[in-house]
Structure 1
């Protein structure tokens, strides 16, 4: 899995989100997501929304994903 693959999955799951993903070892990544849909949600809820876009890849193809999220 590459950073651009993760970015595309998140963008598909959260339409209109501004997503930046970094990571060059194929397993450990960090992502910054700015999304209007995060408004009114706790940070934990925002992170769950992102994890839902990645499904079973979390803990499998993606070993670790550090998130920074905020509403647009």
Structure 2
């Protein structure tokens, strides 16, 4: 069963309440998404660890209800 974008967004918002989150359904099937997440939770940690935090936020749904998730994660820019 596919995961609705609203459910995906809710999981990510719960785990990263300060985040700017943009989600795109890549195939129109609710199984293949691209997510861009900018959160202070990612500051100073390697990208692999950032992605692990996102997968943990999905509470075991990755590979089940959610078949594929392309991730772009980063901390907010401190320049400006």
TM-score by length of 1: 0.93
Which runs of structure 1 show a deviation greater than 2 angstroms over 4 or more consecutive aligned residues? none
2:46 matches 1:68: no
Task: Report what 1:27 is aligned to.
Answer: 31
Q: Output the aligned Cα RMSD.
A: 0.8
SS at match of 1:68: strand
Residue segments in structure 1 that go unaligned for 5+ positions in a row: none
TM-score (norm 2): 0.85
Distance in structure 2 (CA, Å) of the matches to 1:41 and 1:63: 26
**Aligned-pair CA distance for 1:4:** 2.1
Counterpart in 2 of 1:44? Answer: 48
More helix as a share of residues: 1
How far the C-alpha of 1:3 sits from its partner, in A, is 1.6
2: CA distance, partners of 1:66 / 1:7: 14
- The number of equivalent residue pairs is 72
Structure number, greater radius of gyration: 2
Report the 3-state secondary structure (helix = DSSP H, G, I; strand = E; otherwise coil) of the residue aligned with 1:8.
Answer: helix
